[in-house]
Amino acid sequence: MIQAERSGVRFKLSNRMKLFWMAVPFLIVVFIFNYIPLFGWIYAFFDYRPGVPLWKTPFAGVDYFKLMYEERKDLFNVLRNTMIMSVLGLLCTPLFAAFAIFLNEMKSKSFKKVVQITTTLPNFISWVLVYAVFFMFFSSDGFINKVLFNFGWIDSPTNVLGNNDIVWYVQTGIVMWKGLGWGAIIYLAAIAGIDQEQYDAAKVDGAGRFRTIWHITVPGILPTFFVLLLLDISNMLSNGFDQYFVFYNPLVASHIEVLDYYTYRVGMLNSDFSYSTALGISKTVISIVLLFTVNNLAKRVRGESII
């Protein structure tokens, strides 16, 4: 009996070691691409100029962090755009779960595959092509304006991509169009993990489709939803760069410039590498604080956390 228990323990340890060595290459990749670059944070504390060795560069201390306060007017506008677009994105997160439920409830497998493929493909389209498509349809000379004008439904063309009043909503809509199908995949996986016997028991009890969804499917995917929501909240300052780079134009510059694009403009276009590095450090620190804050809040409210 004791020998059998020892062999069982050895078997478990052996399996764990195998899993560990399988994960090692990925840990190495993460370390190389995510942790080694952190050495570049040192440039935020020096008055760095390209071509000058770091040891010959004047030490600046926290001057570039103080510069954020001096440039607070521009930075406030950037943070406003960043937070508003992030909040709009957070408000749209239930749509991914709802769309996954919608796909799961489709009876026709062939139609379900067509819908899933059609909605997932935009995720793999580059932002340059996305901009080209939306410019072709929604610019002043685009297809939509021409159709509406020819039918007499509008008196003059409307430049949707150059309208400063609706740019936040337009960009949020574009993100949803591009990522809806892809974002639903993880919820489909969560739905697939729900015990099928619960659905069978609900049918026996006479529950309809809506009650089955509300009392079985929705509670089954709630843990996944909350984990993704917490991660999204912690990444509120990271809207991405590609989208706002291609859709940026002078007409909507004051409302579309987010923190990632602002950091790029300061560092690459203005060649102020030290200040842009300080901005990046600040964004990372704030994101970490947000992550631990919402994690502790979730632990107190729901009794569960992701860390």
3-state secondary structure of 91: helix
Here the tokens at position 152 are: 């007499």
Q: What span, in angstroms and rounded, lies between the C-alpha atoms of 119 and 3?
A: 55
Q: What's the pLDDT at 150?
A: 83
Q: What's the pLDDT at 221?
A: 92
Domains and CATH numbers, the chain: 67-302 (1.10.3720.10)
3-state secondary structure of 158: coil
46 CB burial (10 A radius; 0-12, 13-18, 19+): buried
- Entry pTM: 0.84
Q: What span, in angstroms and rounded, lies between the C-alpha atoms of 220 and 228?
A: 14
CA-nearest of 132, 88, 87, 136 to 247 is 132
What is the arithmetic mean of pLDDT over 25-42?
91
Q: Which residue has the higher pLDDT, 151 or 190?
A: 190
For the cut 70, the answer to whether the pLDDT of residue 7 exceeds it is no
What is the arithmetic mean of pLDDT over 100-105?
91
